[in-house]
Amino acid sequence: MTQRVCLVHYHEIGLKGKNRATFENQLVKNLHRALRGQSVDSVKRVSGHILVSFASGQATDEQARIISQVPGVARVSLAYLCGLNQGEYCAAAVRALGEAGEFETFKVHARRSATTYELHTLDLHRLVGGVLCEAFPDKRVKMHDPDVTVMVLVVQGSVYVYAASRIGVGGLPVGTAGKVVTLLSSGFDSPVATWMVGRRGAVCVPVHFSGRPMTSDSSEWLCQDIVDALAPAGLIGRLYVVPFGEKQREISLAVPQSLRIITYRRVMLSVAEHIAELEGAKALVTGESLGQVASQTLDNIAAVNEVVSMPVLRPLIGSDKMEIMRRAEQIGTHDISSQAAEDCCTLFMPRRPETHARIDAVHEAWDAFDHDAMIEELVSTVEYRDWDYCPSYKPPKSLAAWHRELLPAHDLTS
Ligand code: ATP
Ligand code: MG
């Protein structure tokens, strides 16, 4: 029986010059990881595509679905892999068109890449088109904008035939854009923000601030579920958890009520920046969206931002909540985020938070407690858990000593 393979298409973006091989090799590595447990036979570069074949010889729609979730994949087609045998690839074209669902019009599009095959594209159009017209006498050929296009690719002694493709998430392969630390709550926004920078090729290291020991650890569990939900994209290797409850209590006693949130956020961003430095990450990421809540006005964003020198990326800054929720559904984090959990943000909340903080008042509040000592202590008590979803994640090696000092990973290891 003719083999069925997944033919992976990627955008030309980022593929110029020397980048191209790096991009393709990374995508091959990431696809291997995403397809663990699927009895992959090989994942290899083939003339501007990546070809994935399976031990069974019969790639499935489920395998194509897994591939479509990997950043860098623009489209994936379940293709018939034929030899240079006219009878075989014409029969494959009939099957591919037969599986394409409802349609009225079609065309054949043939492409040859670096081949000595005697038939040229026009010959292939005529040959395969003729066979399809006979097999589907009630359907029409339409050269411009047909319902279905049957692709016939002749590459290095093989012919790939397919008629339908699944849209992928696009973007760039994780591992081609450096590392970021993302501030992850269990809400809707920050998982989406994390996924978005991961989709642009960044390895993501989320940091979650929990209200423990003043709250339960339920938000920590939700964050772990979020990491699991994002597994198909392969962008997270480690989650850090910072038990923040005690320090929030200290802050709430030291600073005016209306400035509590801004002060918590300044501490959170500073701790995240320290972790980013230890991890060798180049930027921080938050799920902020302009004006969404009190802490996300321009004044307050600026008042928080000034404590760090690293770039803070806010991929959702111009997004509406509905758009974010739709994306959360698509990436599988929506239902996890809709479960209410106390985290550090629900702890010691002021009745009336400041929406347009005056910077001198913020500085006065900041100096009302030993913020440097607090930040240092929080960094030294951080806990973490590793996953093997992201082949490009490298834990900070030079920091072995620091890691040994970490508290045992608490209930996060179970
Ligand atoms: P989200 O849905 O991501 O929780 P939100 O709409 O609840 O966002 P805020 O709570 O103001 O908005 O949080 C703004 C951003 O601050 C979040 O998107 C996230 O990046 C960060 N953040 C908030 N709470 C936490 C937390 N407990 N741990 C880590 N980061 C947090
Ligand atoms: Mg939140």
Would you list the DSSP string of 190-210?
Answer: HHHHHHHHHHTT-EEEEEEEE
Distance from Cα 291 to the centre of ligand 2, integer Å: 14
Residue ranges making up the domain that contains 259:
179-411
Of all protein residues, the one whose alpha carbon is nearest to atom 14 of ligand 1 is 288
Ligand 1 contact via 343 beta carbon (within 6 Å): yes
What span, in angstroms and rounded, lies between the C-alpha atoms of 161 and 92? Answer: 7
Mind listing the pLDDT tens digit for each residue in 71-114? Answer: 999 999 999 999 999 999 999 999 999 999 999 999 999 999 86
- CATH number for 332: 3.40.50.620
Are 268 and 289 in the same domain?
A: yes
297 CB near ligand 1 (under 6 Å): no
**Is residue 260, in this structure, part of any structural domain at all?**
yes
Q: Do both 187 and 292 map to the same domain?
A: yes
Q: What is the per-residue burial (b if ≥16 Cβ within 10 Å, else e) of 128-163?
A: bbebbeeeeeebeeeeeebebbbbbbbbeebbbbbb
Locus of tokens 């909540």: 321
- For 152-201, how does the pLDDT look when each residue is reduced to its tens digit (9 = 90+)? 999 988 999 999 999 999 999 999 999 999 999 999 999 999 999 999 99
Clarify whether residues 110 and 221 are in a common domain: no
172 domain residue, yes or no: no
In a domain, 97, yes or no: yes
Structure tokens that stand for 311 in this block: 């770039």
For residue 341, how far is its CA from the centre of ligand 1 (angstroms)?
13
Quote the ligand 2 centre to 183 CA distance (angstroms): 10
- State residue 17's pLDDT score: 74
CA–centroid distance, 347 to ligand 2, in Å, is 11
**Judgement on whether residues 144 and 14 belong to the same structural domain of the protein:** yes
- Distance between CA atoms of residues 301 and 395, nearest Å: 30
From the list 285, 323, 70, the residue with the least C-alpha distance to 197 is: 285
Q: From the CB of 82, is ligand 1 less than 6 Å away?
A: no
363 and 228 housed in the same domain: yes
22 Cβ inside 6 Å of ligand 1: no
CA distance 161 to 87: 13
- Final residue before a domain boundary, out of 167, 201, 234: 167
SS3 259: helix
Please give the chain's pLDDT, 414 residues, in tens. 799 999 999 986 666 677 888 899 999 999 999 999 999 999 999 888 999 999 999 999 999 999 999 999 999 999 999 999 999 999 999 999 999 999 999 999 999 986 788 999 999 999 999 999 999 999 999 999 999 999 999 998 899 999 999 999 999 999 999 999 999 999 999 999 999 999 999 999 999 999 998 888 889 999 999 999 999 999 999 999 999 999 999 999 999 999 999 999 999 999 999 999 999 999 999 999 998 776 688 989 999 999 999 999 999 999 999 999 999 999 999 999 999 777 666 767 777 777 788 899 999 999 999 999 999 999 988 998 989 999 999 988 755 444 444 444 454 444
CB of 183 closer than 6 A to ligand 1? yes
Query: Is 111 inside a domain boundary?
Result: yes
Q: Is residue 265 located within the same domain as residue 338?
A: yes
Q: What angle do CA 217, 223, 228 make, to 5 degrees?
A: 130
Euclidean distance between the first and the last CA atom of the chain, given in angstroms as a whole number: 46
CB-based contact 410:384 (threshold 8 Å): no
| CB 8 within 8 Å of CB 73 | yes
Q: Verify whether ligand 1 is closer than 6 Å to residue 295 (CB atom).
A: yes
- Evaluate whether residue 242 is within a structural domain: yes
Q: Which residue has the tokens 């990973």?
A: 409
Of 114, 140, 167, at which residue does a domain stop? 167
Give the list of residues 6+ apart from residue 376 with CB closer than 8 angstroms, or none.
none
Question: What's the burial of 391, exposed, middle or buried (CB within 10 Å: 0-12/13-18/19+)?
Answer: middle
Token pair for 213: 């020991």
How close is the Cα of 184 to the center of ligand 2, in Å? 8
Query: What's residue 14's pLDDT?
Result: 62
**pLDDT number for residue 96:** 97
The ligand with the least distance to the CA atom of 312 is 1
Nearest of 92, 7, 30, 22 to residue 236 by alpha carbon: 30
DSSP secondary structure code for residue 356 in this structure: S
Closest residue CA from atom 25 of ligand 1: 185
The pLDDT value given to residue 344: 62
174 assigned to some structural domain: no
What pLDDT does residue 407 have? 46
- Kindly identify the ligand whose nearest atom is closest to the C-alpha of 294: 1
Mapping DSSP to helix (H, G, I), strand (E, B) and coil, where does residue 243 land?
strand
Indicate which atom in ligand 1 lies nearest the CA of residue 286: 20
Cβ–ligand 1 contact at 292 (below 6 Å): yes
The reply to whether 253 and 109 lie within a common domain is no
| Residue 186 alpha carbon to ligand 2 centre in Å | 7
CATH number of 86's domain? 3.30.2130.30
Hey, which residues does 51 pair with through a beta bridge? 7, 44
Q: What distance in angstroms lies between residue 408's CA and the mean position of ligand 2's atoms?
A: 26
Shared-domain flag, residues 367 and 253: yes
Q: Which of 110, 140, 167 is the last residue of a domain?
A: 167
Indicate whether 340 and 194 sit together in one domain.
yes
State both tokens at 174.
């994780």
3-state DSSP assignment of residue 5: strand
Q: Answer yes or no: is the C-beta of 187 below 6 A from any ligand 1 atom.
A: yes
Q: Whose CA is nearest to atom 20 of ligand 1?
A: 286
Ligand 1 centroid from CA 344, angstroms: 10
Q: Find, among 271, 236, 246, the residue nearest to 385 by Cα.
A: 236
Q: The dihedral of CA 262, 265, 269, 270: what is its sign?
A: positive
The answer to whether residue 173 sits within a structural domain is: no
The verdict on 381 and 360 lying in the same domain is yes
Number of the ligand 1 atom closest to the C-alpha atom of 324: 2
Domain tally, the chain: 2
For strand 238-243 and strand 203-210, is the pairing parallel, antiparallel, or unpaired?
Answer: parallel
The pTM for the full model equals 0.92
Please state, in angstroms and as integers, the Cα–Cα distance from residue 237 to each residue in 99, 181, 391, following that order.
39, 11, 8
Confirm whether 406 is domain-assigned.
yes
The C-alpha atoms of residue 182 and residue 193 are separated, in whole angstroms, by 8
Asked whether residue 56 falls in the same domain as residue 158, the answer is: yes
